[in-house]
Amino acid sequence: MNKGFTLAEVLITLGIIGIVAAMTLPNILGNYRKKTVETRLQRFYSVANNALKASEAENESWDFWYFETNANVINTKKWYDTYLAKYWKTVKVEVLNEGFVVAYFPDGSLCVIKSGFDYFYYPEGKNFSELKFRQRTKYMGKTLFVFSFHPDQKTDDMHYKKGIEPYGSSKSDLYADPLYGCNNNNPTGGAAFCTQIIAKNGWKIPENYPFKF
């Protein structure tokens, strides 16, 4: 005659399973979010630059593209419509009150564009809101990653004659820079250099990355 499990044994087993799940689930979810960030950052970089090349081939060299001043955000939609709209595959585009353009992508990510120069990329669009974007320095390197397009600035060796590149500087310590370094101590400039760190690591978040997912 087979002996079944007692109620106490079943409850103990379920309790053990629950404890193990509670211990491992955060790591599983964290690794999933980390992989999502890595995959979508690399995809955005590739797709965005392919679009720039297609636009350049059909329009004119980047050398002759019209750029707003970095402080003039209000005409960003005009710039976007001229140079990018046709070449970016989006599901929706909207304009924030200040003039920033928000482009929503089919994979659930989105990018906020400023003046044609700066690109604030959210691998998971659910992390975006207009309020959070106004407070964007708090989220850089975590749910928000910064790219730039400055092909005409000869003094910027990281971006001159290049496409949409991770925000960074060859003259600065990407981790310790006092204004944009990838750390928790830059409340004004934010951790804008984090994108460059991930890119230099083959679009993989390094082991010593300062933020957890």
Evaluate whether residue 1 is within a structural domain: no
Residue 90 belongs to domain spanning:
7-200
Evaluate whether residue 166 is within a structural domain: yes
Q: pLDDT of 123-137, one tens digit each?
A: 999 999 999 999 999
List the 110-114 sheet strands across, edge first.
92-95, 101-104, 110-114, 118-122, 145-148, 165-166
Evaluate whether residue 22 is within a structural domain: yes
Radius of gyration of the chain (CA): 22
Mean pLDDT over each residue of the chain, to the nearest integer = 87
Evaluate whether residue 211 is within a structural domain: no
Q: With 70 as the cut, is the pLDDT of residue 66 above it? A: yes
Q: pLDDT of 196-206, one tens digit each?
A: 999 999 999 99
* Under 8 Å between Cβ of 95 and 102: yes
Evaluate whether residue 62 is within a structural domain: yes
Confidence bin at 7 (pLDDT 50/70/90): low
Instruction: Count structural domains, the chain.
Output: 1
Evaluate whether residue 210 is within a structural domain: no
Q: Which helix (H) or strand (E) holds 32?
A: helix 7-58
Say how far apart CA 96 and CA 74 lie, in whole Å: 9
Evaluate whether residue 206 is within a structural domain: no
The sign of the torsion formed by the CA atoms of 205, 141, 156, 59 equals positive
Say how far apart CA 147 and CA 140 lie, in whole Å: 11
Q: pLDDT of 149-178, one tens digit each?
A: 988 766 666 676 788 999 988 788 999 999
Evaluate whether residue 44 is within a structural domain: yes
Strand partners of residue 114: 118
Q: With 60 as the cut, is the pLDDT of residue 116 above it? A: yes
Which of the two residues, 111 and 65, has the higher pLDDT score?
Answer: 111
Which of the two residues, 70 and 61, has the higher pLDDT score?
Answer: 61
